[in-house]
Structure 1
Amino acid sequence: MADRYIEPDTPELRARWGNFAWTDENAAKAKDIVARYPEGRQRSAVMPLLDLAQRQVGAELNTQGWLPIPVMEYVADYLDMPIIRVVEVATFYTMYNVAPIGRFHVQVCGTTPCMLRGSDDIIEACKKRGMKKGHTTGDGLWSFTEVECMGNCASAPMVQINDDNYEDLTPERLDAVLDALAKGETPKAGTQEPGRHTVEPSGGPTTLTAMVTENHDYRGEW
């Protein structure tokens, strides 16, 4: 399971985030998000609003962002819903960070397909950079979490770093991605396998081949 430790609500936390409010830009976005839902169902907007709030916190801190308790209270008040319901959502879904996070959140999949394809070596590569599960490095650059399957089994092993997936990894390929991020560069997301573009078979398709070569529609034959 992914490590989930909610940051305690302290006076210092209140002093820093107790006056959280949408920026003008995010206030307009929040209004548009809520308007997508029928009257009386505005609480359905809790997930996109938590994401918006996390990104606003991240912009202030130059990190991926996280959700302090006062920020979750703000979202709860905005949607007129009990704070416990907001906390339940934020702590259930791992895309929400409920404790301070580094500039880059490195989430390594350790589930069986990735493990069989070398995720243990990927984790070791992270550890060599001082990363430790559930912690942020001293320079504030990296936070490391081991997570469950993120749906990229066909291009395992993979990691998610902030909003991007990096797939078909080796320790060397991961090092190249992390080096680029540390330099302020934007490495190519997706597969890191040369010559591979998505998750197509390494040797090309072996079934329904005419669909690829001739744009053939097989449905009439089924």
Structure 2
Amino acid sequence: MSIVEAQPALDPTERAEIRNLIGHYPTARAAAIDALKLVQQRRRYIGDNLLAEIAHLLGLPAAELDGLATFYNLIYRKPVGQTVILLCDSITCWITGRDHLAQHIERRIGIKPGETSADGRFTLLPIVCLGHCDHAPAMMANDVLHGNVDPATLDAMFDATPLP
């Protein structure tokens, strides 16, 4: 049983968009990740009830779709903050100061990797590699890639993100 409160059901527009996605693939199952991403883009995460609805539209068992959703680290199965910070955990980023950045985030907003700030503004997640090694240390804030990140970069982002 999930301890996360159920999200509102898919709306007719979301259902129609998922059905449209299915039409672009040879099988409904092939549209699974795109369907999850479509809903997550609007809802920020995929709760159990939404996962079950999406699975039904795709003609899949919910357990199979959950297996896909939990395999991909960019599908969020629990609530995340307004800004999701993916802090690269590659050897290159580690050598160039990634741990110092993680400590700065903890001091500044009080969260460790895997946590969301109390105000709901930020979630910090480690990611194996962002492929931006020539600009390490690197991070993504939502869908924006940042390179040569330093504490001042982080502070500017924290200061610019409004309260939810």
Q: So what's the TM-score if we normalise by structure 1?
A: 0.68
Structure 2 CA distance for partners of 1:85 and 1:183, relative to 1, 3 Å: closer
Q: Secondary structure of 1:140's match?
A: coil
Residue identity in the other structure for 2:127: V
Say yes or no: does 1:79 pair with 2:79: no
Residue identity in the other structure for 1:142: F
> Does the 8 A contact of 1:125 with 1:175 survive in 2?
no
Q: Secondary structure of 2:85's match?
A: strand
Per-residue displacement from partner, 1:89-131 (whole Å, max 9, x unpaired)? 1101111111111111111112101011111121112111212
Selected match of 2:10 from 21, 27, 48:
21
Residue identity in the other structure for 1:34: I
What residue in structure 1 maps to residue 114 of structure 2?
Answer: 134
User: Distance between the aligned counterparts of 1:171 and 1:182, measured in 2?
Assistant: 19
Q: Which runs of 4+ in 1 moved over 3 A?
A: none
Cα distance, 1:23 vs structure 2: 4.1
User: Distance between the aligned counterparts of 1:159 and 1:73, measured in 2?
Assistant: 32
Q: Which has the larger radius of gyration?
A: 1
User: Distance between the aligned counterparts of 1:109 and 1:75, measured in 2?
Assistant: 30
What residue in structure 1 maps to residue 99 of structure 2?
Answer: 120
Residue identity in the other structure for 2:86: Q
**RCO (CA 8 Å, sep 6+): is it higher in 1 or 2?**
2
Q: CA RMSD in A?
A: 1.9
Cα distance, 1:174 vs structure 2: 2.0
- Where do 5+ consecutive residues of structure 2 fail to align? none
Residue identity in the other structure for 1:163: D
Cα distance, 1:28 vs structure 2: 3.6
- Where do 5+ consecutive residues of structure 1 fail to align? 1-7, 58-64, 185-222
User: Distance between the aligned counterparts of 2:134 and 2:117, measured in 1?
Assistant: 31
> Does the 8 A contact of 2:121 with 2:163 survive in 1?
no
Residue identity in the other structure for 2:129: C
What residue in structure 1 maps to residue 22 of structure 2?
Answer: 34
User: Distance between the aligned counterparts of 1:51 and 1:137, measured in 2?
Assistant: 23
Q: So what's the TM-score if we normalise by structure 2?
A: 0.90
What residue in structure 2 maps to residue 188 of structure 1?
Answer: none
> Does the 8 A contact of 2:121 with 2:161 survive in 1?
no
Residue identity in the other structure for 1:54: Q
Structure 2 CA distance for partners of 1:183 and 1:140, relative to 1, 3 Å: closer
> Does the 8 A contact of 2:32 with 2:58 survive in 1?
yes
Cα distance, 1:32 vs structure 2: 2.4
Selected match of 2:157 from 177, 192, 197:
177
User: Distance between the aligned counterparts of 1:157 and 1:73, measured in 2?
Assistant: 38
What residue in structure 2 maps to residue 213 of structure 1?
Answer: none
Cα distance, 1:183 vs structure 2: 7.5
Per-residue displacement from partner, 1:139-168 (whole Å, max 9, x unpaired)? 111111122112111111111111111111
Q: Secondary structure of 1:133's match?
A: coil
Structure 2 CA distance for partners of 1:170 and 1:87, relative to 1, 3 Å: same
What residue in structure 1 maps to residue 71 of structure 2?
Answer: 92
Cα distance, 1:29 vs structure 2: 2.4
Alignment of 1:159-170 (within 5 A): 159-170=139-150
Cα distance, 1:31 vs structure 2: 2.7
Cα distance, 1:9 vs structure 2: 2.0
What is the count of residue pairs matched by the alignment?
163
